[in-house]
Amino acid sequence: MSVGDDRLISDRSANLHHDCNHYSWHNTDNNPYGCKFADIHPIGVPECKFASRCFIVLRMGSVRDERIGAELRKLRGRITSREVYERTGITPSKLSRIESGFVRAKAEDVEALTKLYGTDSPTIERLLLQVKAAKVPQWWTAFVGPDWDSALSYHLQLETEARRIESWTIDLVPGLLQTDEYVRALVGGRHDVDPAQTERRIELRAARRSRVERGDLEVWSVIGEAAFHQLVGGVETLAGQMRYLANLDHATIQVMPFTAGAHPGLGSGFHLIHYPEWPTTLYQETITKGIYEDERSLVEAHRQTMTRIQATAMSPQDSQDWLLARADELTR
């Protein structure tokens, strides 16, 4: 799932649950708990303090549907769901599902709602285009089968919609930039991955990487020097990974050297996912879950930290020279 490494994705099914600290989730008007959608956890890990009162979402809607729904909820303002029903015939339960992204809004729904809300014509036209685009199958669906965690599908949707991704990783090369051999070594070292899935995961990673290689997705990645001492796959694999990074045209690569000392990124890696029209999403990962945040103050704090990390690391040119020298050193 992660921008860095899908080692975090279990092959068990995953649930979304409501957690009041994270990603915006829009409930019906009379929800007394104000819960917000957030973490992706394996089944049986109910961490939300309102878990006994919040329903568990057993499937993930399209990210595009969620964004359309969120904008419709914002446009609704103080208009109640009862008033919407009286004026449009859209029931409160259907309105809630549309606004949460749990069901896809139809063009006629968008037209009826935006007319009621007094929305301007350019916004209506943009939303209708987004509704149309949400129906188009995404490129990665050919790789993700029913035996894969639905959390991965959700992350791929976010990644596909992104214009630019900034990453800080401490001990691994980010997933978008990993070579086939590096991926094979990582996946092969996992006890929870069916060997039959290995090649499919490698193919998916290559497809994700190709978006960067074509310049379709802008990536700025700062990678800790530790990643280039961890012999993932052995000397030849790691050296090949470093040479790939050094010669990658459509990405900005920086190395954070050990000599940087106590820098702002110590202790925690993170990723900032930027979209053409949506707010930036902060993504962080642990061993068992990925967390998505879009609270403005939290994203801004991490954006400032990312800027300081980028300023502290080697320059892109110095990083390129260092990577090539380190690869030569390993294979000498």
What pLDDT is stored for residue 192 in this prediction?
A: 63
Does residue 203 share a domain with residue 118? no
Predicted confidence at residue 168, as pLDDT, reads 96
Q: Are residues 272 and 209 in the same domain?
A: yes
pLDDT at 283: 87
Q: Give yes or no: residues 118 and 221 share one domain.
A: no
Residue 45: CATH number of its domain: 1.10.260.40
CB-CB contact of 6 with 53 (8 Å)? no
Does a structural domain hold residue 139?
Answer: no
- Token pair in block for residue 17: 């649950």
pLDDT at residue number 281: 85
233: left (phi over 0), alpha (psi -120 to 50) or beta: left
Same domain, 118 and 248: no
Series of mean pLDDT values for 10-residue runs along the chain (332 residues): 39 29 33 33 33 31 74 91 92 89 86 92 84 59 47 71 90 91 82 71 83 90 95 95 94 95 90 85 78 83 95 96 96 89
pLDDT for 140 equals 42
Residue 199 lies in a domain: yes
On whether residue 147 sits in a domain, the answer given is no
pLDDT of residue 150: 52
In a domain, 95, yes or no: yes
Residues 218 and 317 in one domain: yes
Residue 17: inside a domain: yes
Both 177 and 306 in a single domain?
Answer: yes
Q: Which two tokens stand for residue 170?
A: 């401490």
- 295 inside domain: yes
Say how far apart CA 252 and CA 315 lie, in whole Å. Answer: 10
Same domain, 185 and 308: yes
The reported pLDDT for the residue numbered 141 is 45
pLDDT at 154: 67
Place of tokens 């961490």: 47
Q: State whether 176 and 266 are in the same domain.
A: yes
- The separation between the first and the last C-alpha atoms of the chain, rounded to the nearest angstrom, is 35
- Give pLDDT, residue 190: 67
Q: Please report whether residue 3 resides in a domain.
A: no
186 and 126 within one domain: no
Calpha distance 176→306 (Å, rounded): 18
pLDDT, residue 45, reads: 30
What is the per-residue pLDDT for 105?
Answer: 86
pLDDT for the residue numbered 136: 56
Task: Give residue 124's domain range.
Answer: 11-134
What domain count does the chain have? 2
Q: Work out the burial of residue 129: count CB atoms within 10 Å of its CB; fewer than 13 is exposed, 13-18 middle, 19 or more buried.
A: exposed
